[in-house]
Amino acid sequence: MIGDSLANSLNAIRVSTELIEEELRPHLDTLLAIAQERKKGMAEQVVESSILPVLAHVLWRKNSITLKTTKLVAELAKDPMIRERCFHTGISSALLSLLGSTDQELLLHVGRAISRIGHDSTLQQEKLLRNGAVPLLASVLLRYPENEALVGSCLQALCSLADMAEEDGSAMAWEPVGYVAPEEWVFRGTCRNTGSTLSSTVTLVRLQQLAPGQFVVTVEVLQRCSTAFWTAHSKMASSVRWFPRPHMNGWPKFYKVIKYSVQGYPQNGSWKSKLFHTLL
């Protein structure tokens, strides 16, 4: 029974004091399999079992079950109840400590976990930013530009920290936007709206390195509408004047800038700002 397997694995991890890898491995496998099935009520049981601090200790140890534990944390972080507790249980700081790894598969899942923890949560975003998430993610992104999945994971995490990410980042396809300027990189992510063929979303992430460990990240989301949309709109315009037609097939929706330095936040002004654009 799944219920019994879940309860047994949660209890085994909770009472583990030595954190012996071979003893924990099968229980991590069980939890990962159940988490991937998104069984109802699992998040509540995980929180009540108090295993999150144990998982954080496993991540800090950086051993043979670190990758499996990171996968589990990334899967669990899909649930709002669990990601709310990631900072206070030590999960978030443990994940950030792993961004110095050279294991690209591990980094991929760390990026996914951070992206999910920060999704739609201003509090979690601020905590991750204050603990240096931006320069760490930027460093990983620039170290492995040939690993498309890893680059996408880091970019999705940066978008999440800017509160500009889609909930399902797997739908995004990222590509670099040619040469821009020294110490500046731009990436474009596309995600077609599944409910409509008339529009699609484009996300632009601009990364500027001001100094070692000091970055400015700009995230911009644009909505693009197809020619079919504007043709249909033109037919309606004579009788229904609901908004002016712009002179192009896409326009900025909004963008957010994150400024972060390893020395801390600027003393003057806001460390994060949002600008809204409208067409007149």
Residue spans of alpha helices (H) in 164-242: 227-237
Q: Rounded distance, CA 188 to CA 147, Å?
A: 15
Task: Let me know: does 218 contact 177? Beta carbons within 8 Å.
Answer: no
What are the structure tokens assigned to 278, written together? 């409208």
pLDDT of residue 256: 60
Lowest pLDDT segment from 72-81, 130-139, 142-151, 170-179? 170-179
Instruction: For residues 161 and 138, give the distance between their C-alpha atoms in angstroms, rounded to a whole number.
Output: 12
Q: Give the separation between CA 192 and CA 185, rounded to whole angstroms.
A: 23
pLDDT of residue 18: 84
Q: Burial code of 138-163, b = ≥16 C-beta within 10 A, e = fewer?
A: bbbbeebeebeebbbbbbbbbbbbbb
Averaged pLDDT of the chain = 80
CA 264 to the chain's CA centroid: 22
119 neighbors 111 (Cβ within 8 angstroms): no
Please choose, from the candidates 41, 55, 5, 43, the residue with its C-alpha nearest in 3D space to the C-alpha of residue 26: 5
- The residue that leads in pLDDT, 19 or 9, is 9
Higher pLDDT, 223 or 142: 142
For the segment 50-69, what is each residue's pLDDT rounded down to a tens digit?
999 999 999 999 999 999 99
pTM listed for this prediction: 0.81
Residue 195 has pLDDT above 60, yes or no: no
Tokens 């644009």 belong to 222
pLDDT at residue 210 above 90? no
Q: Report d(CA 50, CA 180) in Å as an integer.
A: 48
Domains, the chain, in order of start with CATH, read: 2-276 (1.25.10.10)
Averaged pLDDT for residues 186-192: 85
Strands 184-192 and 250-261: unpaired
Give residue 13's pLDDT. 95
Cβ proximity of 201 and 252 under 8 Å: no
Task: Give the residues across from 261 on adjacent strands.
Answer: 214
Q: 106, 67 in Cβ contact below 8 A?
A: yes
C-alpha dihedral over 209, 212, 213, 217, to 10 degrees? Answer: 0
Going through the chain in order, the beta strands assigned E by DSSP cover 173-176, 184-192, 199-211, 214-225, 250-261, 272-276
The torsion angle over the Cα atoms of residues 117, 119, 121 and 123, rounded to 10 degrees, is: 50
pLDDT of residue 192: 56
Q: What angle do CA 169, 155, 75 make, to 5 degrees?
A: 45
Per-residue model confidence (pLDDT) at position 243 = 32
